[in-house]
Structure 1
Amino acid sequence: MSVLIVIPARYASVRYPGKALVPLRGATGQEKSLIQRSWDAAQAVGGVDRVVIATDDHRIRTEAEGFGAEVVMTSATCRNGTERCAEALDALGGAFDIVVNLQGDAPLTPPWFVEDLIAALNAHPIAEMATPVLRCDGRALGGFLDDRRAGRVGATTAVFGAEGKALYFSKEVIPHVADGAWDDHTVTPVFHHVGVYAYRPAALAAYARWTPGPLEQLEGLEQLRFLERDHPVQCVEVDARGQQFWELNNPEDVTRIERILGELGMA
């Protein structure tokens, strides 16, 4: 199967304008932009035929081409990364079996997260799309709860049924848990939704034709459009293998991500 990774990126982020170009310092003190670190993460994924950055902003295009990335220019009317992926796929001629949306604010995404998604679609031919979920330990859950208490938009959580079919995604911490019930290293019943998606091209094309529903608009979560249209979303539990994962949603996340880059020894 042919696999395309699209990294959607925009400059006019509502919560953090210009974040795609924010420099992040690695273990050696070297700075790379957020979009370059996301590109590096995509390059580490096995079994991929092509990687492109999809943007509507020439500042991001200039930065991306400067470090050797292939760029597809998309329209400014794309409302989220999934719509931008759909437009990029169309611009490339659509000749791929699986399209992966590796969001441009998730540079710490381990390659095996994406590889597990690709394997899940290969193993389940009727599945339309898949997304990874990561069981939280007490340390991660504590960070989520701290963000909510401080009024910061933090990580997304997911709840799903016994066969992995998604029930809901939220910026709130769901299911409800008692604060302080888990220490740093114990497992919890909360799953962190990792912002990566793998789609069949037909599902991606259909998504672009649908209008956003009220839940998507309230939560600001693009994957809810599938659930509101009664199209199943397959959650794939992944193993962090001891590696911390975090997305860049707020300016405060820069320090946290740089610390993790240092711990991982990433230049």
Structure 2
Amino acid sequence: MSVLIAIPARYASTRYPGKPLVTLRGPDGEKTLIRRSWEAAMAVRGVDHVVVATDDDRIRDHAVSFGAEVVMTSDKCQNGTERCAEVAAKLLGYEIVVNLQGDAPLTPAWFVEDLVAGLRADPDAMIATPVLRCEGRMLAALLADRRAGRVGGTTAVFGAAGRGLYFSKEVIPFTGKTYADNEPTPVFHHVGVYAYRPAALLEYPAWPVGPLEQFEGLEQLRFLENGQSVLCVEVQAQGRQFWELNNPSDVPVIEAMMADQR
């Protein structure tokens, strides 16, 4: 089953302009966010094609300089899923399209491999996304972001069959408890990766933006608001820390996590 990974990258981010070109220092030196995200995609097994999808010449030129293939997309795309839909319309013939968002360079390869396997194993699922059970330390970081008024990570709640019930920038479900750093919690961190069957992806741009997507700023809510189920695939951290770059304050956090992985 052929798999395409598209890495959407937008320069004019509302919360963090120029984010894809921000440099992150790791054990291998300084590299931009988009380069680290591309390297994460290239490490995934069983993938046939990896492209960077952008509407910005600066990102295109930089991506080409380190060897990435680039697909130019419209500046009208409202989010990464719409950008991936444009890629899917240009690069036909793939059975699964993966959206590996360009702000998650710490995404382990097995997250994406398990996600693709989960979608393959469920023929009724048209969209899938990974979720990671929070330990106490991660939950505390999410709650700290909210207390400080920062828009940080996303959490997910889902039913027994793994179908997503809701995704939110708030920390849900509410537990009212304090957990030890390594203690499992009932809160799941949504990992910003999606796997789509092309038929569902190509329908997405024609659907209206609903109030929940507008309020939360979460592109996957458009699927739920238009009656499409989203399969949540639980992935395992295997001792690795995971965090996304949403705000400038996340840069030192991610750099520290990369140092720990040395």
What is the letter of the counterpart of residue 58 of structure 2?
Answer: R
SS across alignment from 1:115: helix
**2:111 aligns to what?**
113
Residue identity opposite 2:82 in structure 1: E
- Single out whichever of 122-131 and 39-48 deviates more from structure 2: 122-131
Q: Counterpart in 2 of 1:231?
A: 228
Q: How many residues align?
A: 262
Quote the offset at 1:119 in angstroms.
0.6
1:70 pairs with 2:69: yes
Matched, 1:81 2:80: yes
**2-side partners of 1:113 and 1:239: how far apart?**
8
Measured in 1, the distance between the counterparts of 2:131 and 2:56 equals: 30
SS in 2 for 1:25: strand
The answer as to whether partners of 1:131 and 1:234 remain within 8 angstroms in 2 is yes
SS at match of 2:36: helix
Find the aligned partners of 1:91 and 1:202 in 2 and give their Cα distance: 14
Tell me if the contact between 1:83 and 1:207 (Cα under 8 Å) persists in the aligned partners.
yes
The one-letter amino acid paired with 1:19 is K
Q: TM-score, normalised by structure 2?
A: 0.99
Render the CA deviation track for 1:172-219: whole Å, top value 9, x for unaligned: 00001215x211111111000000000000000111111111000000
> What is the correspondence of 1:47-58 to structure 2 with a 5 Å cutoff?
47-58=46-57
Identity %: 68
Q: Distance in 2 between matches of 1:95 and 1:231?
A: 23
Which stretches in structure 1 are left out of the alignment for 5+ residues?
none
Contact 1:9 1:20 in 2 (8 A): yes
Instruction: Name the structure 2 match of 1:45.
Output: 44
C-alpha RMSD over aligned residues: 0.7
5+ residue gaps, structure 2, are none
Give the aligned partner of residue 143 of structure 1.
141
Q: So what's the TM-score if we normalise by structure 1?
A: 0.97
Q: Are the aligned partners of 1:27 and 1:263 in contact in 2 as well (CA < 8 Å)?
A: no
**SS of 1:108 mapped into structure 2:** coil
Deviations 1:50-88 (A, max 9, x none): 000000000000110000000000000000000000001
Question: What is the CA distance between 1:121 and its match in structure 2?
Answer: 1.5
Q: Which residue of 2 aligns with 1:202?
A: 199
Structure 1 outlier segments of 4+, above 6 Å: none
The AA in structure 1 aligned to 2:48 is D
